[in-house]
A = this chain, B = another copy of it.
Amino acid sequence: MCRWLAYSGSPILLEELLYKPEHSLIDQSRHARMGVETTNGDGFGVGWYDADIDAPAVYHSIEPAWNDRNLREVASHVESPLFLAHIRASTGTAVQQTNCHPFRHENWLWVHNGLVRDFHLIKRDLALAVDESLFPYMEGSADSEMLFYLALTFGLEEDPPTAVERMVGFVEEVGHRRGTEDPIQMTLGMTDGKSIWAFRYSSERDSRSLFYSTDVRTVRKLHPERERLQEVSDESRFIVSEPLGDLTGAWNEVPESSYGVIQEGEDELRPFQPIYSGNGAQG
């Protein structure tokens, strides 16, 4: 089980969300409250966009996040208007940088909390379905990376919700054929550097927690003592696996089987429905 967060808004130091909140993401790495596991010590990652550089940077650590001095340094000196961060509790695959989230492909970043059940049984079927041109870019062994490359194969860059619905449908088809009852459990976050999409779904309809904060103005009023919050822009948005402790009162749960989009213009929240092809695992 993992934890992640996404931020979009006026540029802030990474540490404002990673370290400073009372129940910050780094704190959650040792003491998660809502998870299956209380310890998320199997790697950390953050990916961020700069104001003036197109490609996002990623920082992947295999140390427990709470011990990573470089992370603390980077987080206290790097400002970003859009970033994803992730703490990992491995469900079996190796603890190595290439298994750390966010996964990156060109200008896209991807984080996942959850798992593909019986992954070893269907790993090959899934791998064969990845587009030939994308196959060599998979570097790690995590189910989460495989989901990303499947989504890219199914058109993530053109239409993220449809691509994810097709990806999930495909994974469920393959899993069911191999005899796995509930093949997928997930919350997903992804971005192209402009919008953020967040999904909450599981085959058993009992998905990991996910929350969003729509209105910074409300949060600010609740927390007048948090200086930097007073300065972030009104459009700033947060999505988190677990509410940051000292910002309670400002969180809304993403409903079961739905997804949201944070974007220029109106944000959206919609139902999520896997798309089944009927021939997914031909590969």
Contact = CB atoms under 8 A, between A and B. Distances in A.
16 contacts: A50-B77, A53-B76, A59-B74, A67-B90, A67-B95, A69-B94, A69-B97, A70-B70, A93-B139, A94-B97, A120-B136, A123-B135, A123-B136, A124-B136, A127-B135, A128-B128
Contacts of A53: 76-77
Interface in A42-60: 42, 48, 50, 53, 57-60
Contacts of A50: 77
A110 B133 CA distance: 29
A132 to B, nearest CB: 6
A140 interface: yes
A60 B70 contact: yes
Contacts of A48: 77
Interface in A109-139: 119-121, 123-124, 127-128, 132, 135-136, 138-139
A229 to B, nearest CB: 19
Contact of A70 (B59, B66, B141): B59
A132 B124 contact: yes
A165 interface: no
Contact of A74 (B41, B74, B124): B74
A43 to B, nearest CB: 9
Nearest to A95: B67
Interface string A70-94: 1001101110000000000010011
A61 interface: yes
B124 A135 contact: yes
A35 interface: no
A10 interface: no
A176 B168 CA distance: 37
Given A123-B135, A141-B139, A141-B140, A73 B58 contact: yes
A39 interface: yes
A73 B104 CA distance: 12
Given A38-B38, A73-B57, A139 B78 contact: no
Contact of A63 (B62, B90, B139): B62
Interface string A131-155: 0100110111100000000000000
A30 B77 CA distance: 29
Contacts of A42: 64, 67
A121 to B, nearest CB: 8
A73 B76 CA distance: 16
A203 interface: no
